[in-house]
Amino acid sequence: MAPRLQLEKAAWRWAETVRPEEVSQEHIETAYRIWLEPCIRGVCRRNCKGNPNCLVGIGEHIWLGEIDENSFHNIDDPNCERRKKNSFVGLTNLGATCYVNTFLQVWFLNLELRQALYLCPSTCSDYVLGDGIQEEKDYEPQTICEHLQYLFALLQNSNRRYIDPSGFVKALGLDTGQQQDAQEFSKLFMSLLEDTLSKQKNPDVRNIVQQQFCGEYAYVTVCNQCGRESKLLSKFYELELNIQGHKQLTDCISEFLKEEKLEGDNRYFCENCQSKQNATRKIRLLSLPCTLNLQLMRFVFDRQTGHKKKLNTYIGFSEILDMEPYVEHKGGSYVYELSAVLIHRGVSAYSGHYIAHVKDPQSGEWYKFNDEDIEKMEGKKLQLGIEEDLAEPSKSQTRKPKCGKGTHCSRNAYMLVYRLQTQEKPNTTVQVPAFLQELVDRDNSKFEEWCIEMAEMRKQSVDKGKAKHEEVKELYQRLPAGAEPYEFVSLEWLQKWLDESTPTKPIDNHACLCSHDKLHPDKISIMKRISEYAADIFYSRYGGGPRLTVKALCKECVVERCRVLRLKNQLNEDYKTVNNLLKAAVKGNDGFWVGKSSLRSWRQLALEQLDEQDGDAEQSNGKMNGSTLNKDESKEERKEEEELNFNEDILCPHGELCISENERRLVSKEAWSKLQQYFPKAPEFPSYKECCSQCKILEREGEENEALHKMIANEQKTSLPNLFQDKNRPCLSNWPEDTDVLYIVSQFFVEEWRKFVRKPTRCSPVSSVGNSALLCPHGGLMFTFASMTKEDSKLIALIWPSEWQMIQKLFVVDHVIKIMRIEVGDVNPSETQYISEPKLCPECREGLLCQQQRDLREYTQATIYVHKVVDNKKVMKDSAPELNVSSSETEEDKEEAKPDGEKDPDFNQIMHAFSVAPFDQNLSIDGKILSDDCATLGTLGVIPESVILLKADEPIADYAAMDDVMQVCMPEEGFKGTGLLGH
């Protein structure tokens, strides 16, 4: 049973028979006694709800018994952030930069590249003064090479378990929140690095990228007629291998080098034969680099969806790769050893996670680099290229093929790195230059200082926890009050005192006070009764207040509660009495007017009012539970109270008795007396009370106005019957023969006049004809005769001469506008001309046309239709019959960001509706091709309700040709705007 219900049914049971003025101290103690039932510690398993004596389950369990020191703090051991012996340093993932981290680790373990970068000159010399580095100034690399130098030096000699590459990422201008194409990043960065190093004087530095990664092949075309060979030499930094339809890496290489026949329309023009001839074309590998990067093309373009997709094909590869069969010049050393496998975990090309399996060139052991975490791969863990997909059910995974010794299979590897085998042992003496080592030492010093600081904080937390433990053990046993003097303390404060995660604040009992600044009887449920001994210690150590002893029990609140409860108990009897009194007829002038709505809900209103009075003990003078009410909230509450006030439903706007007798009822004096007991402030209206005199006057005036409006409407409708019903109206396109003059008024006047005639009691009469809206500032007409017969016909209404005479009598006309027909010429049939009065203003007419065109081209959320042309016939697709788009921005909108939902048109919607990729879409309107991707709809002449024709190109069956189309029509723009494209 809820505490409040217990209070009313048990503690306040005596209040039904005791008058408020008779409440004694004994009654007050009785009101609180229900909460002072004893709670035997050990019997309760949880805190007894609402019992101030129960001190079980308030948070003490975490302090009882033996406690582990680690529970006193939430600070991790700083040594967990320390680099382990003979391990590598990880890299922080800044959000979506795992693809950058994998390549940094692969490049770092290329010892030749690392050594060459260390030899690059650095501006760090300007940063070093005298015997060391300026302590007050942080080192900021200025170039990409300096960033790499510093990163590699930290990866080599840092004491940290992982380091932050944000400086390097920021220097490249990469978006840390967007996952990018790792293969494209590799290509662009190698190109940037090569371009940067090409300016170095040291040849070992200048040529390191070419020496390590650059190979050469030739596109060779052989004419079948004369046998002439045509070669096109090209350098490469990685071989891009198609994996679709293949199971082994060697098959992918063979397809890359396979011979292609050039026949039919694809014949080759031979310069020797001076004609197109059948020919063969293939790639010949001329030279291979020391580090051979093999890109497995896992991410391909899907023409059906217009997006990339990932191929989850298993590809087998060996740890030793003999490339001699594939090169043109035999006899060299072309045996390669696997040194790294770069992996993409995930089923989508646009999400997932990048990691790397890399071989330590010095120890020959394999490691898994996963951002901050680095794990040695040995034993069963040595499964190169094997990583579970993210967010893919195991049932949908293809079974892994069996692999022999020295071979591996992977469905997630997207790049394989092979190193040329040599008889020489790898160089193990890659030394960090002195200036870089000094920077690393300084960073290591900062790290050590941080470790000491964290360890000290942990120690302080442990010391505080131990002290708190002793305090709780000492005081918790002394908390129960028993028969000794006691005080009340907030349960919330006690729980926070026992909470190890929050510092203990001063005691705050204000939330438990009533408006008399004493203990509220209803707040006992959120208090705890503790011994005076424990209270003295709490207040001396933590302060706060006010202290609540037995004298803090509030007599005023008990008396008020007694009164309210008595009224609530009496309400049921009074409700029956009032209902019986309402059945009797009212005699003479002894009755009182009561609102019917108030009578229907008076019992509920009385209950709510009593609850509000009961709640007034918790709030007074803007106070509620010790806090100040918001002004707006107070106003809102007052407004609600006003809406609920009894008998105010029969008040008129002037505060008097309303004139409508349908909304009120006459009740007897006895019934009103009973109602007044609950609503003493309700407005009182005896039966002899007159209705509001002002409302009577307004009612009479309203009736007179309605009658006048009806008379005016009837007169105008009778005078202009055709204008009201729109019958027999004149038309410019079919000029009536029985007249040579027609008058013009604005259509707005006609519509407003018709509204008044239809509903004269709800609308005001129309008194004037505002034709100035049809004229320019110079007084000239804004419409031509031709436009008034077509697009501008909706703006004007034509008037017969007889109607015009009546309009001039009934309304005030500001400007007379008429169209006249005249016959000119002496030859039969004579030529007919139409002239207006006033005449057309050409300049303003031209300005109006320009504005109309601009309005047509500046719109939002308009409907544009797209029709697909199939066999020169228009076909409307049911799945997407229309395109809701926004067009050109106004000059004002260009400076402000558009809200969500108001974007420029995305014609990828067409792709999904008609299954036509963007580069296969040929769009046109009125014979004009829409080819400018940067243009807005307005500049292209596409206005609301326009129809765009779509003609789709036929799909290309040849995959090689499809790849060419991809490269031309779907360029990768993921790194657009970054430093990778700046060189």
Give the residue-averaged pLDDT of 270-283: 88
Using CA atoms, how far apart are residues 208 and 214, in angstroms rounded to an integer?
9
Picking from 660-669, 870-879, 933-942, 954-963, which range would have the lowest pLDDT averaged per residue? 954-963
**Looking at residue 298, what is its pLDDT?**
85
Q: Tokens for 399?
A: 């079974």
* Whole-number Å distance between alpha carbons of 161 and 85: 10
User: With bands split at pLDDT 50, 70 and 90, how would you rate the model's confidence at 886?
Assistant: very low
Predicted confidence at residue 71, as pLDDT, reads 59
pLDDT at 358 over 60: yes
From residue 130, give the alpha-carbon distance in Å to each of 126, 201, 426, 435. Answer: 11, 27, 36, 12
Kindly calculate the radius of gyration of the chain based on its CA atoms and give it in whole angstroms.
46
The pLDDT assigned to 216 comes to 92
Greater pLDDT, 31 or 827? 31
Task: Give percent of the chain with pLDDT exceeding 90.
Answer: 9
Are 187 and 238 in contact by the 8 Å Cβ rule? The answer is: yes
pLDDT at 511: 86
- CA-to-CA dists, residue 183 to 102, 103, 188, 374, 974, angstroms: 11, 10, 9, 22, 11
pTM: 0.54
C-beta of residue 487 within 8 angstroms of C-beta of residue 513: no
Do β-strands 373-377 and 366-370 pair in parallel, antiparallel, or remain unpaired? antiparallel
Among the listed residues 39, 98, 270, 691, the single catalytic one is 98
Q: What is the DSSP letter of 233?
A: E
Pick the range with the lowest mean pLDDT from 34-48, 347-361, 763-777. Answer: 34-48
Whether residue 476 is predicted with pLDDT greater than 70 in this model: the reply is: yes
Question: How far apart are the C-alpha atoms of 18 and 563, rounded to whole Å?
Answer: 9
The token duo for 465 is: 């926890």
Averaged confidence pLDDT in the chain? 77
pLDDT at 542 over 70: yes
Query: Among positive and negative, which fits the CA dihedral 325, 329, 333, 334?
Result: negative
> Bigger pLDDT: 738 or 390?
738
Is 353 marked active-site? yes
Residue with tokens 């705890």: 528
Q: What is the mean pLDDT of residues 515-538?
A: 85
As a whole number of Å, the end-to-end CA separation of the chain is: 76
Which of the following is catalytic: 147, 246, 344, 353? 353
The token pair at 628 is 């100040």
Instruction: Report the pLDDT value the prediction gives residue 662, as an integer from 0 to 100.
Output: 87
- Structural domains of the chain in order of their starting residue, each with its CATH number: 4-55+479-557 (3.30.2230), 78-125+140-203+431-458 (3.90.70.10), 207-385+403-420 (3.90.70.10), 699-856 (3.30.2230.10), 862-869+906-982 (3.10.20)
Q: Evaluate if residue 42 carries a pLDDT over 70.
A: no
Question: How far apart are alpha carbons 620 and 880 in whole angstroms?
Answer: 63
| Three-class DSSP category at 954 | coil
pLDDT of residue 32: 57
Note every long-range contact of 79-87, with CB atoms under 8 Å and residues 24 or more positions apart, other chains counting. 79/451, 80/161, 81/160, 81/161, 81/447, 81/451, 82/159, 82/160, 82/161, 82/451, 83/158, 83/159, 83/160, 83/161, 84/161, 87/374, 87/376
* pLDDT (mean) for 463-477: 77
Name the β-bridge partners of 223: 279
341 vs 354: CA distance, rounded Å? 11
- Residue pair 297/238 in contact (Cβ under 8 Å)? The answer is no
Taking 80 as the threshold, does the pLDDT of residue 979 lie above it? no
Residues 17-27 pLDDT 10s: 666 666 666 66
Between 351 and 428, residue with greater pLDDT: 351
* Cα–Cα distance list, 185 to 144, 180, 188, 237 (Å): 14, 8, 5, 13
- Tell me, rounded to whole angstroms, the distance of Cα 320 from its chain centroid: 50
Mean pLDDT of 519-534: 84
Of the listed ranges 299-308, 315-324, 699-708, 904-913, the least confidently predicted one is: 904-913
Those residues whose C-beta lies under 8 Å from the C-beta of residue 816, and which sit 6 or more positions away, are 743, 771, 837
pLDDT value at position 908? Answer: 54
Provide the token pair at 675. Answer: 């109602």
| β-strand pairing of 768-769 with 812-813 | parallel
CA–CA gap between residue 765 and residue 714 (Å, rounded): 11
- Mind listing the pLDDT tens digit for each residue in 151-203? 999 999 999 999 998 888 888 888 877 778 788 888 888 888 888 888 888 88
Find the mean pLDDT for residues 397-404: 70
198-212: buried (b, 16+ CB within 10 Å) or exposed (e) per residue? eebeeeebbbbbebb
- HEC-encoded secondary structure of 471-500: HHHHHHCCCECCCCCEEEEEHHHHHHHCCC
- Mean per-residue pLDDT for 284-312? 85
pLDDT band, residue 411 (cuts 50/70/90): confident
Alpha carbon distances (Å) from 631 to 623, 628, 635: 12, 9, 6
Rounded to whole angstroms, the Cα distance separating 744 from 747 reads: 9
Q: Which carries the bigger pLDDT value, residue 671 or residue 522? A: 671
State whether residue 710 is helix, strand or coil.
helix
Q: What is the mean pLDDT of residues 396-423?
A: 81
List Cα–Cα distances, 629 to 491, 608, 616, 741, in angstroms: 24, 20, 13, 73
User: What is the token pair recorded at 807?
Assistant: 């309009």
Least trusted range by pLDDT, from 36-45, 324-333, 828-837, 918-927: 36-45
Mean pLDDT for 337-361 is 86
The first and second tokens of residue 488, run together, are 């009340």
Is residue 829 within 8 A of residue 814, CB to CB? The reply is no
For residue 896, the number of C-alpha atoms closer than 13 Å in the C-beta half-sphere is 8
Q: What is the model's pLDDT at position 519?
A: 86
Residues paired with 835 in a beta bridge? 820
What is the rounded CA–CA span in Å between residue 464 and residue 558? 44
Q: How far is CA 643 from CA 263, 662, 682, 830, in A?
A: 91, 20, 12, 78
- Average pLDDT value for residue range 778-791: 82
Ranges assigned E (strand) in 123-214: 128-129, 132-133, 162-163
Q: Which of 513, 771, 773, 505 is nearest to 626 (CA)?
A: 513
pLDDT for 643 equals 56
pLDDT of residue 359: 92
Q: Are 187 and 981 in contact (CB under 8 A)?
A: no
C-beta of residue 902 within 8 angstroms of C-beta of residue 884? no
Q: What is the pLDDT of residue 427?
A: 60
Asked whether the beta carbons of 384 and 338 are under 8 A apart, the reply is: yes
What share of the chain in percent tops pLDDT 70? 78
Tell me the range of 55-64, 698-707, 902-911 where mean pLDDT is highest.
698-707
* Res. 565: pLDDT tops 50: yes
Residue 641 has pLDDT above 80, yes or no: no
Please tell me the predicted confidence (pLDDT) of residue 13. 58
Instruction: Please indicate whether residue 934 or residue 747 has the higher confidence score (pLDDT).
Output: 747
Backbone angles phi, psi at 356, to 5 degrees: -140, 140
Q: What is the DSSP string of 865-925?
A: EEEEEETTEEE--TT---EEE--PPPTTGGGSPPPTT-----THHHHHHHT--GGGEEEEE
- Cα 974 versus chain centre, distance: 22
- If one compares 654 and 51, the residue with the highest pLDDT of the two is 654
To the query of whether residue 776 is one of the catalytic residues in this protein, the response is no
Q: What is the pLDDT of residue 128?
A: 54
Amino acid identity at 531:
S
